[in-house]
Structure 1
């Protein structure tokens, strides 16, 4: 097992390959700008902003996955708005949970009767903080 997001397990085995690529994590801070007459504004650090993570899941029916089903699983997660842990290896990424902020599908090879053989899903997660 490579890791998981909620109930979606990233793995490579003899019967199934479901992995991601191009994982990027972004961290930012929040700043307020206070206007001062006749001078440059002053900056005030407010605190950290929410982190984001993006990655691509490549899907290939020849490797034991059903691309259309996997795409739908990500769509459901985006529409439900549930916060879940992202684990890579045996380590949790981030301090808190993550929500699926956006999902973008690219359909590759489509066979007769509409069977999707290959495709990819671009995922964007945003950190979810439960406490105030």
Structure 2
């Protein structure tokens, strides 16, 4: 197993391929800018901002289960705001948990009965601090 987001497992086996590509994590600080008369503004570091993560998942019915299952699960996570544990390589990412900020789904191949054969999801996570 490569890792997991909530109960969505990232894994590769003979019967199942369910993983991500283009994983990117962004971290930044929060700054306030104070205007000073006749001088350059003064910056004040307020602390760290919430990290963000983005990645793309590709789904194929030939590489595991129905692509709609995990695609709908991701959508459900984005609608409920449930904080999720993100584990990659056996290590938890971040200080606490992550929320699914957005999911962009694409059905790339559908059969003549409306079954999704292949799909893609672009996922954006935001750090959740308790």
For the aligned pair, the TM-score class normalised by the smaller chain equals over 0.9
* 63-72 vs 47-56, greater mean Cα deviation: 63-72
Q: Tell me the secondary structure at the aligned position of residue 25 of structure 1.
A: strand
Give the aligned CA root-mean-square deviation in angstroms: 0.7
Instruction: Output the TM-score relative to the length of structure 2.
Output: 0.98
Moved over 6 A (4+): none
CA distance in 2, matches of 1:125, 1:12: 22
Instruction: Trace 1:1-132 onto structure 2 (pairs within 5 A).
Output: 1-130=1-130
**How far off is 1:65 after superposition?**
2.1
Instruction: Output the TM-score relative to the length of structure 1.
Output: 0.96
Give structure 1 stretches of 5+ with no counterpart: none
- Is the 8 Å Cα contact of residues 5 and 87 (structure 1) preserved in structure 2? yes
Query: Paired residues, what number?
Result: 130
CA distance in 2, matches of 1:9, 1:70: 9
- Is the 8 Å Cα contact of residues 97 and 128 (structure 1) preserved in structure 2? yes
